[in-house]
Structure 1
């Protein structure tokens, strides 16, 4: 009886599944390497904030130096009497208020440019993008003069308006890409049932593009929280934000590295907490529409 025997694979032939596993493993190692590289500066900042000034300024650094919370006590006013809470509250007010305004303006604008496109919508999108081409420092003097004549210097609501105008173009571009993937049939069905535009946006569009809204809100919040140039020039004692407060640790007496690192860690925590809490929505939002 002739037995049918399968031809063995040629010598040197590669198993596609093994190659795929190896490629995935290499990509995983590369992703871990990139993550560690990006995390190292923050980890080094945290470690430096837990050292004394002498150990923090040592070259080469003393990795095994004793740990202390003196830098954090200095940040919260121990020995100086300067409280960080007013700048932190100002940053939170400007960031949250401007982010809410950005969403209230960007979602209807993106709806008009994607689902119900206006005439020459590409020109409108280019106009939004062109507003980001001017360097911020180029518009600093006109903004300062307008704020001075209007009596808005050292006013937190001036920063709210500025941050809204600065983040609105990016938000419109992001939200348009998210809304363009919403099926038009569900909105047509709602319109036939008698739903108006506010109802369609609130009850139909918003739940579908919620990951995109979360990603847009998070990016707007981060940009507003980290902004320094306008806050440094247009504010003073009353409306100073957290980044402005951070620059106060660089004095004419020198750079106190441990205190600066402690202040930077504390000021970075709200952004890190927001990013960690919304990381799943951020990944979904930024990848929305990437795979058709």
Structure 2
């Protein structure tokens, strides 16, 4: 045997052509999830979207200040019912959720960040869950601040109002807004995965389902987000439910309304995560292909 043959090293065997790729771990790293959350929150906080949000939520504050200036005598209960428990939950909250959630995935496709997410060691369902969480956190935090400012604009300085009552009402309303936004964001994010006409469908849903159906004293309104938010407001804050046709003897309990809102959010979140995990996305490249 020659020296060359004796000293030669064995050549490693080539991998079998049918070898399976390494699977992504079912438990993604917290660092990777934090990166997805940070990018999502940063995107939600910039551009025209955030300024539209500010304009939407500034409207009730401006209306409250105008009413206080020109209404004599001023009745804070009327303004509170019309703005805090009328305009904001019925129109502004769902519109804000639609604004932030409708293009939650499409923005990543347009800005070429979806590829970065998909090549990270993160399951697809986790990417979607974190993105929805980011949109919900941003909208809930901003809504809580602006709604508290609207409550102050409506009630501050009136004889029956003190700091404790303002703080209590602001906290309850902020919590109800967060629950509503969690449900709306998951619904509109889910619709955004199904169609590009999500804005049209979303506005129709807000006007018809949440705007009209939620006020009709019929069983179907139990499937609306706004109905359960108002039931919770009536029960937790002692409001008069008659303007919304809410009879506490027949209305759901606090636990039932909470379960309905969280259940709706969980259902549409799971459906959206499943679609996101199974769908193929046409990802843009730097060359625009």
TM-score by length of 1: 0.32
Q: Which has the higher contact order (CA 8 A, sep 6+)?
A: 1
TM-score by length of 2: 0.32
